Amino acid sequence: MELAKTGQYLYYIDIYRSQSPFQLAKIASKRVVAFNVPQTTPEIVRVQVDEVPYFYDQLHQHPEIQIMWIERGQGTLVAGDFVGRFQPGEVYVIGGGQPHVFRCDPEYYRGRQLVRSISLYFSEKYFGQELWNAEDLRAVRELSEASRRGLMVPAEAATPHAACIGKIASTTGLARLVAFFELLHLLTITQELRKLSLAPGRLLENEEGRMNKILGFTFRESRRRIYLEEVARLANLSVEAFCRYFKVHTRKTYVSFLNEVRVSHACRLLIQGNLSVEQICYETGFNNVSNFNRIFKRVIGKTPLAYRAQAVGQNLDARI
């Protein structure tokens, strides 16, 4: 692998195929979005730096564990049955085989700013069986098992993790390996580590195209009234079959998922502070303020006004 510049975007590229993992995934999304992270030389950890208009926006899965630091960019993360906001400064651990997508907010698709992240990929295969099964790595194997549900370190607790990831990306050889094991140790002792999904999940390869159609449609159209009949038609299923299908693959109803996407958009607008709660209610696709407040509190755990007040307070603290 070598670091290459294409215009103003940075990629780690596969020198044998002259394609970045981002570009390879875009090509694969036309067929199926399950892929292995390219590995051209034996290594314990693979580093990928992305500086692009928006993160790869198709639901996908790979057998490697991914540790991802969001340096710039924000939007909605779907990981297993979890739907929620991702923000700069957060660190995520996405387990091997967990379907996920970091879907950026709409403004990133207008090309006015770039997102940036550093991702580390590793697996039992990368380590080798003897090293992976060593007693010294018991905590790492437990971390790997927990990551099947997705893990997140919030930005306020992730400064040391981000520093380790930056060091891994900027070094090579033994120095990189030492920094990587420091990061793994740090993750195994982090008290603030949060589990995302209720249970591990995996999509069959032949289902990913259909699910990506559903997710893409939902993100695009969530601000208007959506009828189950039109989503079912998109999935080429009857309404009853679609409801069963979606519940089996996400462990929640489509209406619950749609509401969580709308709440994620509402969180972004509440943080921006330009609109009233009532305006945000209708802007994000809810049909009345009472229903919006009730669903927002159920998903987030607090009212929209309380969420805005907390977000404003955190922003003020960050400036001081």
Domain ranges across the chain: 2-195, 222-319
* Per-block mean pLDDT, blocks of 10 residues, the chain (320 long): 34 33 42 52 89 92 95 93 93 94 92 92 91 94 94 96 97 95 97 87 65 90 94 94 91 94 93 91 95 95 92 55
Is the pTM above the cut of 0.75?
yes
| Domain 2-195 and domain 222-319 have a common topology | no
Residue 142 CB partners (closer than 8 Å, separation 6+): 188
**Which tens digits make up the pLDDT trace of 169-184?**
999 999 999 999 999 9
How far CA 36 is from CA of 39, 63, 79, 96, in Å, comes to: 8, 7, 18, 10
**For position 15, what pLDDT does the model report?**
25
The full DSSP string for 19-37 is B-HHHHHHHHTTT--B-PP
**For position 152, what pLDDT does the model report?**
97
Rounded distance between C-alpha atoms, residue 12 and residue 5, angstroms: 9
The fold of the 222-319 domain, in CATH, is Arc Repressor Mutant, subunit A (1.10.10)
The fold of the 2-195 domain, in CATH, is Jelly Rolls (2.60.120)
Q: Contact at 8 Å (CB) between 187 and 93?
A: yes
| Tokens encoding 278 | 């009532």
**For position 71, what pLDDT does the model report?**
97
